[in-house]
Amino acid sequence: MSDDNTSMWKNLGLDLKAHDVLLGVLGQAYQDIYLSQENRPRGMEYFDFVMSEIHGLRIKELLDEKEKKRKIIGSYCVFVPEEIALAANATLVGLCSGADFAVEQVEKYLPRNTCSLIKSSFGFKLAKVCPYLECADMIVGENTCDGKKKAYETMGTLVDNLYVMDLPQMKSDNGRKLLRSEYDRFKSAVEELTGVEISVDSLKEAIRTVNEKRAAIHRLSQLRIADPVPISGLDALLANQVFFYDNPARFTQSVNKICDELEERISKKKGVFPEKTPRILFSGCPMAVPNWKLPWIVETSGAVIVGEESCVGERGTRNLTDDSGKTVDALMDAVADRYFKIDCAIFTPNQDRRDHILEMTRAYKADGVIHYGLQFCQPYNMESIPVEKLLEEEGIPCLRIETDYGMEDVGQIKTRVEAFIEQIQD
């Protein structure tokens, strides 16, 4: 690590020793899981570079932005509109929460039976190892599942810049009204933070920037329909994960560049795995960096992942925002309309999600679905049962996996995944 990085991390108040441990674990996992893959598209070198500089160059960029009076907003959920942040001259970054850290300390604040994602967000704060969290001028929490809702009350005692967004639980007119008014409240809070009033032009431009980023990811997803699949599920997941904290324009350009290469691969029938490799759709809880356990198990067991029905995946990116409005109000309406379609399991009822899983299974020609639920996540684990039932009725095999960020159950999961792959191969 360069001295520059070390002093940057020190100035951010990171615990350098604990941070070294985190970077060591992250680097090793990336080496073992990502760099050991064969036949990767050349364009993935960009993402390898991003990952190697995840706490280095990108943080330096964010600090340079702060020098120029731009604000940084950290978020934990795909309901926080990047369009509003960008339009007010702020940068939105995802606060990943994909690894266990400082578990003993965390359990002094949260019950043991809290999902790994929430525990991880506390672990990164308590252990002082996340430069994104430490450089954020505002941290946005949201009233989604009960776990998060209550955890943010405690999180508010650990950070002094937490903003909590209320979210609807039903797709009703009242639900839509609540979301729209909460986005107005968020807009005012961001304008106050940055001192920049959002205009028609700035909001339109922000919508276009985010739409382009989403369109690039849609293009990548569509290319995974091909057989042989031109990119591994692990690499596609990585692109979806980097979506949350890279510079938007650079990200769009890099994903489109990979797509050009993938089109060339498809025309030559070149894949990462042989033709007719069993194809799996993932569905369920978000997989934040560096949570690569289940895709790694699946793709080293003889199958390929062809899509993610997940917030780090299509649930988070699938719809674009209409940019044709002529007033800030009309554009804000369009933003609310776009986000109101997100079919998170916190909604009741949530038939849209079931329909979407079926639609994705067919569109990506998946042979089976693996439903991924984090242990103690009631919304997704509860929904996994009707999801499985629906898929069974449609003759689509489904495997429900409930796990956490620990590696103790890898052997047991691998055995179940191998048996499932054998079943869908027949």
Minimum CB distance to ligand SF4, residue 79 (Å): 5
Q: In the set 26, 77, 130, 358, which binds ligand SF4 (CB under 6 A)?
A: 77
Task: Identify which of residues 61 and 409 has a Cβ nearer to ligand SF4 in the complex.
Answer: 409
Minimum CB distance to ligand SF4, residue 121 (Å): 9
> Which one of 87-95, 142-150, 224-232, 408-416 is the stretch in contact with ligand SF4 (CB under 6 A)?
142-150
- Contact indicator for 109, 90 with CB cutoff of 8 Å: no
Q: Does residue 183 touch ligand SF4 according to CB under 6 A?
A: no
Which tokens in the block code for residue 344?
């998170």
Task: Identify residues 279-298 at the interface with ligand SF4 (CB under 6 A).
Answer: 285-286
Taking the CA atoms of residue 324, residue 326, residue 329 and residue 332 in that order, the dihedral angle to the nearest 10 degrees is 20
Minimum CB distance to ligand SF4, residue 195 (Å): 28
Determine if the peptide bond prior to 278 is cis (ω within 30°): no
> Which one of 52-60, 319-327, 377-385, 411-419 is the stretch in contact with ligand SF4 (CB under 6 A)?
377-385
Q: In the set 79, 163, 183, 339, which binds ligand SF4 (CB under 6 A)?
A: 79
Please choose, from the candidates 299, 239, 313, 271, the residue with its C-alpha nearest in 3D space to the C-alpha of residue 45. Answer: 239
Binding-site size, ligand SF4 (CB under 6 A): 20
- Contact indicator for 294, 75 with CB cutoff of 8 Å: no
Q: Does residue 397 touch ligand SF4 according to CB under 6 A?
A: no
Q: Does residue 216 touch ligand SF4 according to CB under 6 A?
A: no
> Which one of 102-110, 111-119, 124-132, 237-245 is the stretch in contact with ligand SF4 (CB under 6 A)?
111-119
Q: Does residue 401 touch ligand SF4 according to CB under 6 A?
A: no
Amino acid at 301: S
Minimum CB distance to ligand SF4, residue 288 (Å): 9
Q: Does residue 398 touch ligand SF4 according to CB under 6 A?
A: no
Q: What is the C-alpha separation between 34 and 64, in angstroms, rounded? A: 30
Q: What is the C-alpha separation between 18 and 101, in angstroms, rounded? A: 9
* 42: Cβ contacts below 8 Å, ≥ 6 apart: 261
Helix (H) or strand (E) holding 399: strand 398-403
Q: In the set 122, 380, 405, 420, which binds ligand SF4 (CB under 6 A)?
A: 380
Task: Identify residues 302-331 at the interface with ligand SF4 (CB under 6 A).
Answer: 311
Please choose, from the candidates 354, 331, 284, 353, the residue with its C-alpha nearest in 3D space to the C-alpha of residue 115. Answer: 284
Task: Identify which of residues 204 and 354 has a Cβ nearer to ligand SF4 in the complex.
Answer: 354
| Residues 35-64: b if buried by 16+ CB within 10 A, e if exposed | eeeeebbebbebbeebbeebbbebbeebee
What is the contact surface with ligand SF4 in residues (CB under 6 A)? Answer: 77-79, 115, 117-118, 144-145, 147-148, 285-286, 311, 342, 344, 346, 374, 377, 379-380
